[in-house]
Amino acid sequence: MMNKYLDIAPEVRAALDAGKPVVALESTIISHGMPYPQNAETALKVEQLIREQGAVPATCAVLGGRLKAGLSAEEIEYLGKQGQKVAKASRRDLPVLVAQGADGATTVTTTMMIAAMAGIRVFATGGIGGVHRGAETTMDISADLEELAQTPVMVVCAGAKSILDLGLTLEYLETKGVPVLGYGTEELPAFYTRRSGFKVDCRVDTPEELARIYQAQRDMGCRGGMLVTNPIPEEYSMDKAVIDAAIEQALAEAAAAGVRGKQTTPFLLAKVKELTGGDSLDSNIQLVFNNARLAAKTAAALCALA
C-alpha cells in the first residue's frame, strides 16, 4: 500500500516501475554537513554523477510535512540555503514533522525509512552515525545503527569519523546482525582516512558481489540492511595526525559546552571542519562522489539480477 504521506518524484517513480536503478541520498549532509553554497553544489553534482552511471538519484527530505523521495534542484537549493535552520529529522521526529506540515532534513535513519517506503534499495552518503566515545556513560548511540538493523536498505558510506568509538560501533552492528562490508578492503575506513585499525566482516571487490549479498539477505527474509564501507580515494585522504588532533579538540569543546542529544554530531562535525579548514571539506565532497558512483553501479547490478 502506498504511504499516504509519501511523494515519489515522477522520474524516480518511472525508474522504479521500469526496474531501472535508483539511488537514495540524504539531506542532513546538505543542511548540517556542509556550508552554503558548497552543500547545494555538491548535492547537485552527486545527482549528476549518479545519472552519468545510468541511475536515477532520489534525494530525500521532509518538505511541508510530505516525505519526499526525489527533490527538484530548487528544493535542494532551498535546503542548502536554510542550513541548520531546518530540523535534523531522525526517526522520532517524523510523526511530528508530518503532523505539523513542517520541513526536515533526513539523516541516514530517515533516508533509509523513506527509501524503503518508496522501494529504493541502495543509498549513498558520506558518514553514518554510531556509538559515541563515552557512550558507556552518556548512552549516545545513533539511531542510524537501529535503522540498519531493521530496514532493508544498503547504505554506501566512507566508514565513520573517529568522533565515534569505531570499535564499539562495530560491536553494536555485530550484535544487531548488520553486515559490514569493506569495498576493496579488509579494514574499516575512517571517513577522512582509508584505515582505522579495525577489521570489517568481509571484503567485497565488485558491485555485482554487493548486489548478490543484498539479494541473498532479501531471499532469506532477513530483516535489516547492510553497510558498505568504501575508502576515500588515496589522493583525497587526509593526514591522520591532523584529523585526530582536530577531533580531540572538538570533543573537548563539546564536553566543555555541555552539548548533548541531537546537537552532538552537528557540533562535532562543524568544529572539525572549522579546525581543519577547507581541506576536510574537499575530502568530504570527494568521498561522497566516490560513494555515489559505487552506489549507482551496485543499484544497476541489483537490477541486472532480477
Using the rule CB under 6 A, give the single segment among 72-80, 139-147, 197-205, 247-255 that binds ligand PSU. 139-147
CA dist 180 and 229 (Å) reads: 7
Tell me if 127 contacts ligand PSU by CB under 6 A.
yes
Q: How far is CA 250 from CA 93, 270, 274, 276, 287, in A?
A: 26, 9, 9, 11, 22
Query: Which of 43, 46, 62, 108: binder of ligand PSU (CB under 6 A)?
Result: 108
Q: Choose, from 47, 68, 147, 161, the residue flagged as catalytic.
A: 161
Determine the Cα–Cα distance for residues 228 and 213; give it in Å rounded to an integer. Answer: 11
Given candidates 12, 15, 23, 29, which one binds ligand PSU under the rule CB under 6 A? 29
Q: What is the rounded distance in angstroms from the CA atom of residue 50 to the CA atom of residue 30?
A: 17
DSSP codes of every residue in 256-297 = HHT--GGGHHHHHHHHHHHHHTHHHHHHHHHHHHHHHHHHHH
Pick from 91, 125, 87, 96: nearest CA to 110: 91
**159 lies in the site for ligand PSU, by CB under 6 A:** no
Distance (Å, rounded) from C-alpha 23 to C-alpha 9? Answer: 13
Answer yes or no: are the C-beta atoms of 128 and 96 closer than 8 Å: no
Closest CA to 122 of 58, 185, 44: 58
Query: In this chain, which stretch among 114-122, 133-141, 169-177, 188-196 interacts with Mn ion, using CB under 5 A?
Result: 133-141
Which CB sits closer to Mn ion, 88 or 194? 88
Q: Are 289 and 49 within 8 A, CB to CB?
A: yes
Q: Which is closer to Mn ion, CB of 46 or CB of 141? A: 141
Cβ at position 44, least distance to ligand PSU in Å: 17
- Kindly determine how many residues on this chain lie close enough to bind ligand PSU according to the rule CB under 6 A: 19
Cα separation of 281 and 259, whole Å?
Answer: 23
The residue of the chain with the least Cβ separation from Mn ion equals: 140
Q: Is residue 26 involved in binding Mn ion (CB under 5 A)? A: no
CB-count burial class (<10 Å; 0-12, 13-18, 19+) for 20: middle
> Contact between 225 and ligand PSU (CB under 6 A)?
no
Q: Is 140 in the site for Mn ion (CB under 5 A)?
A: yes
User: Is 45 designated active site?
Assistant: no
Of 161, 194, 271, 297, the one binding ligand PSU (CB under 6 A) is 161
Among 7, 26, 47, 201, binds ligand PSU (CB under 6 A): 26
Q: State in angstroms the smallest separation of the CB of 76 from ligand PSU.
A: 15
Rg (CA), the chain: 18
Q: Which one of the spans 32-40, 139-147, 275-283, 286-294 is the region binding Mn ion (CB under 5 A)?
A: 139-147
Look at the block and give the residue holding cell 526536515: 104
Nearer to ligand PSU, 16 or 61 (CB): 61
Of 125-133, 168-176, 198-206, 230-238, the window that binds ligand PSU (rule: CB under 6 A) is 125-133
With CB cut-offs between 5 and 8 Å by kind, which of Mn ion, ligand PSU, none does residue 38 bind? Answer: none
Q: Is residue 161 annotated as part of the catalytic site, yes or no?
A: yes
| Catalytic residue list | 26, 161
Residues of the shown chain interacting with Mn ion in the complex, contacts defined by CB under 5 A: 140
Which residues are near ligand PSU by CB under 6 A?
26, 28-29, 33, 107-109, 126-129, 142-144, 161, 191, 262, 265, 269
